[in-house]
Amino acid sequence: MKKSMKLSLGSVVVAGALSAVLIPSVSASAAEGFVCPAATDTIEVPASFAADGTPILAGTVCVNAGTTVLNTVDTADGWSGQVKSDGTKSNQATDVRFSEASTGDRVELKYEPGRTVIK
């Protein structure tokens, strides 16, 4: 089953409902107890949503505050993460792909200046 979800920072209302906006690091956690380091922005990457709308995370991506430069990636149990781009190249994009081996589920975060896409 192919899942696709695209969000942009311009649609904060929609993104907020889907928990795909930058959030305070104290509330983001792919693995229990994980918190992004100080001076970073936190991006939760949902793989799916529970019936009550709570995101079920594939992982959490931490970028240096106010930039698109990758700092840390945390994965949920059963998920793995592959960094395709760390935000330091000329396109200033962070691209992280998450996959879950037992189900074949995949989700990708592309974080660029002014744009966040989760698909």
Domain assignment present for 4: no
pLDDT digits (tens, 9 = 90+) for 38-80: 999 999 999 999 999 999 999 999 999 999 999 999 999 999 9
Give the total number of structural domains in the chain: 1
Residue 92 to residue 82: CA distance in whole angstroms: 17
Q: pTM for the full model?
A: 0.74
CB of 109 within 8 A of CB of 61? Answer: yes
Domain assignment present for 5: no
Domain assignment present for 89: yes
Domain assignment present for 94: yes
**pLDDT (0 to 100) of residue 34:** 87
Find the Cα–Cα–Cα–Cα dihedral 21, 53, 28, 5, rounded to 10°: -40
pLDDT digits (tens, 9 = 90+) for 11-41: 333 333 333 444 443 444 566 678 999 999 9
**pLDDT (0 to 100) of residue 90:** 86
Tokens of 101: 């081996």
Q: Domain range spanning residue 18?
A: 12-118
Q: Is the model's pLDDT at 119 over the cut of 70? A: yes
Domain assignment present for 103: yes
Domain assignment present for 105: yes
